[in-house]
Amino acid sequence: MNRRDFVLTGLATLASATALNAAGAGFEVTRSDAEWRAMLSDMEYRVMRQEATERAFSSPLDKNYAPGLYNCRGCDLPLYSSEAKYDSGTGWPSFWQSLPNAIGTKADRRLLRVRTECHCRRCGSHLGHIFGDGPAPTGKRHCLNGVSLVFRAA
């Protein structure tokens, strides 16, 4: 990545994070920036509120295959079932579908290409991205940041 692309990506990330925090008023669960910062670690805040990405292979949830639900760390809404989890080999927890009415999506143009960003539909916390290279039956790969999730064993 050259210096120009780096600067443009940084500016786009800042604008996107500002928009996400400002848009929080439209979600069922809202918190002030100070409240989010108080309840989340630095990495959780950067990922969930500023749409950063955790380092690949850093989440223990990537290799967790116990039965249960993966809930939003921001509001505890159940988002994904372990039944839809699979090993994508990417280093991030991956699922082929979310639970019904659990996530929202939007276009993400930060890396000079369009991706589908997914977030918790109740609090707006950034989860990750959805790609079209997943397994049957959906063909989708919900590639998520583990720091955005809390696992609740069945």
Q: Which residues belong to the active site?
A: 143
Helix axes 3-23, 42-50, angle to 10 degrees: 80
Distance CA(142)–CA(113), nearest Å, equals: 18
- Token pair 């850093």 is found at 58
Distance CA(35)–CA(29), nearest Å, equals: 12
* 89: its two tokens: 């080999």
Distance CA(101)–CA(122), nearest Å, equals: 9
